[in-house]
Amino acid sequence: MVSKTIYLTASLLAIFGVIAIGASAENSVFAQGDKVQASIVPGASTLTDTAYSPNPIEITVGQTVVWTNDDTAFHTVTSGSIGAPDAGQLFDSGLAGPTALTGQGKTFEHTFDAAGEYPYFCTLHPAMVGTVIVS
């Protein structure tokens, strides 16, 4: 009876461990070295704080965030808040040029060299907002 209890307890712990890992991975950022992957999700222009995934993005000083446009619409990744005088001064994928997120699969990246919280938004869809937290 004791061995069945131990086996059952160990099995339950393993199951709950797998569930916990799966749940935490759902909101995690995919990191490869110093580059952290983020997504502009399909249908993003109709979303708000879920348009960029994950949100927030949590990284350490010196890491680079790489945003991939997984939507079919044009988008931007623009630092600051819509209408703020400093909007786009720290980083901005722009609307044209090599860093513009003009279609599905396009990427934009920025390296964060100082700790802090960095809000960002899409200039074409201002309700799309995100935050990078750098520690």
Q: Which domains does the chain carry?
A: 30-134 (2.60.40.420)
**How much is the pTM?**
0.76
pLDDT of the chain, 135 residues: tens digit per residue: 544 443 333 343 333 333 333 333 334 445 556 999 999 999 999 999 999 999 999 999 999 999 999 999 999 999 999 999 999 999 999 999 999 999 999 999 999 999 999 999 999 999 999 999 999
Cα separations in angstroms, 43 against 64, 102, 121, 127, 130: 25, 14, 15, 13, 16
Within the chain, residue ranges assigned H as helices are 2-26
